[in-house]
Amino acid sequence: MHIQHIDLIGMPVTNQQVSLNFYTSMLGFEVRTNMEHFESDDPDVRWIELVPPGASTAIVLASWEKPGSSGTTVLITTDIEADYAELKAKGLDLPPLEYLPWGISTVITDPDGNNLLLQQNIDMPSS
């Protein structure tokens, strides 16, 4: 096996523009690719890849997949409390932060019901 990394993950969405606005405005993702007239029978379908700043793995806003079926995508942060406060200030409804021995997390739900786990890992003592 010569697998090196994950390049992109399909994120099922119903409206690419609404999702594009959510991921860029709310979560700060950057557009890696936004190609109109993607090979599709629907002229409104675009190939849109988004990445968190500095990341190599992207999500593609996949309007051709069933929304809410993506499972959970984990987003790692270095300061979850600051990110949580920023998202709340932007008007995002979030459950309380969950503090566990291995890390702190909260669930973000996008406009199509896809779950994103925002997580800050805690260094575990070695045994």
CATH code for the domain in which residue 98 is found = 3.10.180.10
pLDDT value at 41 more than 90: no
60 falls within a domain: yes
Tally of domains within the chain? 1
Provide mean pLDDT across the span 77-95: 95
| Residue 28: CB atoms within 10 Å | 12
pLDDT band, residue 93 (cuts 50/70/90): very high
Q: Which residue has the higher pLDDT, 121 or 25?
A: 25
Structure tokens at 65: 């997949």
What is the residue range of 109's domain? 8-121
pLDDT value at 124 more than 90: no
Give phi and psi for 92, each to the nearest 5. Answer: -80, 130
What amino acid occupies position 21?
Answer: N
pLDDT value at 127 more than 60: no
